[in-house]
Amino acid sequence: MTRRGSRQVSVGGIPLGDGAPVVVQSMTDTPTSDVDATLEQIRLLAENGAEIVRVAVPDDAAARAIADIVPESPVPLVADIHFDPRLAMTALENGIHKLRLNPGNIRRAADVRSIAREAGARGVPIRIGVNSGSVPGDLRDRFGGVCEESLWAAAERHVGLLEESGFRDIVLSIKATDPMLTVRANRLAAGRCDFPLHLGVTEAGPLVPGCIRSAAALSLLLAEGIGDTVRVSLTAPPETEPRAAWEILSALGLRRRFPRVISCPTCARRRIDVSGIASDIQAHLASVEGDFTVAVMGCEVNGPGEAREADLAVIGTPTGMLLFSRGRNLGETVPEDLLGRLDEQIGIILSEGGIN
């Protein structure tokens, strides 16, 4: 698919925009002032595919802790700043790789310009993060509430302040709790600016509905070539966020990093415990990286066809559970140690260079 053209910024060496791969982000939920706990979670997020991680900076203790966190972090970090512009300055002094400012609560032009000057001197980009829950009151009044026009106006106002200071390393995000409002607002932004766009549905909800709402909005935009970096915001353990983002990117054929497990929805024809086996395989592959597919199929109706398409497949048949590798029936009933047998086959394919 054709990607929207945009300028490029660098976040701790990771490029955003101008044709660079779509980057996966997430956010910690530990007190940033707790350096050890925050670093532990950053590492967990990175293991699960987060390439940039945001940390909350609600107070001086959190801002000071950045000095100890940045050198030990495996990925670039973003400081999430609200209300108090002093915290942005401290985060910059302590080596943060990127700032996120909220136009809804950091509004004084002088404050924004001071931050822009310091960030510019240090080569640190700024994300203008507009949320539907914090659109300035005057813009809600002017546009009749929270809509794509009021969201864009909030972003445009802050862009103007940064550009007046000669600052152009800007990333823009416009997020709403309504997935389709998110889509409309980002389509508007994509047509009116060339800044890299960070996509997400804010306050998307618990794991399942949050993933669905995020996928609905992000897939529409990404399929149109809009979006340079994404976060799937979930009321769930943070490490679920980057995994969900990768599933979306993988489904769209944009990027693949982790194995894909596909399985049939099961019916009365199933000859194996599809749900249990698929869940076991998914959990087993959680720490594995590679662009390959494992299929778990309950019977001989669609099993052979899926086995031909998958790199590895477990199929229920009248004679037992069979294992296929690259469409070839290995001619054996799968032993009790299914996961160990799969590991052997993955190792073989890896050794042959068949998995990216």
Distances (CA, A) of 132 to 135, 136, 145, 203: 6, 10, 10, 10
Q: What is the pLDDT of residue 353?
A: 62
Using an 8 Å Cβ cutoff, are 262 and 306 in contact?
Answer: yes
Residue range 61-76: mean pLDDT, rounded:
98
Closest C-alpha among 198, 56, 200, 192 to residue 132: 200
Question: Band of the pLDDT at 78, cuts 50, 70, 90?
Answer: very high
| Measured distance CA(72)–CA(69) in Å, rounded | 6
Segment among 84-88, 177-181, 242-246, 352-356 with least mean pLDDT: 352-356
Query: For the segment 329-343, what is each residue's pLDDT rounded down to a tens digit?
Result: 887 677 678 899 889
| Measured distance CA(286)–CA(291) in Å, rounded | 13
Question: Band of the pLDDT at 54, cuts 50, 70, 90?
Answer: very high
Query: For the segment 25-52, what is each residue's pLDDT rounded down to a tens digit?
Result: 999 999 999 999 999 999 999 999 999 9
Residue range 135-154: mean pLDDT, rounded:
95
For CA atoms 294, 300, 305, 307, the dihedral sign is: positive
Query: For the segment 105-129, what is each residue's pLDDT rounded down to a tens digit?
Result: 888 989 999 999 999 999 999 999 9
Q: In order of start, what are the domains of the chain with their CATH numbers?
A: 9-251 (3.20.20.20), 260-351 (3.30.413.10)
| Measured distance CA(306)–CA(312) in Å, rounded | 10
What pairs with residue 306 in β-bridges? none
Is the pLDDT confidence value at 219 over 50? yes
Pairing mode of beta strands 14-16, 328-333: unpaired
Question: Cα–Cα–Cα angle for 249, 250, 254, nearest 5°?
Answer: 60
Is the pLDDT confidence value at 354 over 60? no
- The single-letter DSSP state of residue 56 is E
Residue range 296-322: mean pLDDT, rounded:
89
Q: What is the pLDDT of residue 266?
A: 85
Is the pLDDT confidence value at 355 over 60? no
| Measured distance CA(332)–CA(350) in Å, rounded | 21
Residue range 316-322: mean pLDDT, rounded:
87
Q: What is the pLDDT of residue 356?
A: 41
Asked whether the whole model's pTM tops 0.85, one would answer yes
| Measured distance CA(56)–CA(102) in Å, rounded | 12
